[in-house]
Amino acid sequence: MQPERAMIFGSVPKLPMKYMAWLMPLVLSCLMSGTISFANMLMNLGWIDGFLSRWFSTWMISWLMAYPVVLIFLPLVRRLMSLIIDTAPPTAK
């Protein structure tokens, strides 16, 4: 008998771990580009007529650029962090 697969909700199964390397940067770039483009537009233009539709258009362009940038820089950042952070598991005393 096979173990029961974990579900996201209802009968939709969770994705395998192999998708984490692609989906985590996708969601992170979405949230960051949306937040930053919203803040920049609000600071530079104020709350103008059609703000949300203009912001959404700008956000989609930003996200289109942000996702590949995150995929490119993430390995470099991981390597840099491994130079300054001890990644070895702690030993039991």
pLDDT at position 5, please? 82
Distance of alpha carbon 60 from its chain centroid, rounded?
14
Q: Delimit the domains of the chain by residue range.
A: 40-64
- Return per-residue pLDDT of the chain as tens, 93 residues: 667 788 888 889 999 999 999 999 999 999 999 999 999 999 999 999 999 999 999 999 999 999 999 999 999 999 999 999 998 888 877
pLDDT at position 68, please? 96
Hey, which bits of 1-93 come out as E strands?
7-9, 12-13
pLDDT at position 1, please? 63
Other Cβ atoms less than 10 A from the Cβ of 73: the count is 12
pLDDT at position 4, please? 79
21 burial via Cβ count (<10 Å: 0-12, 13-18, 19+): exposed
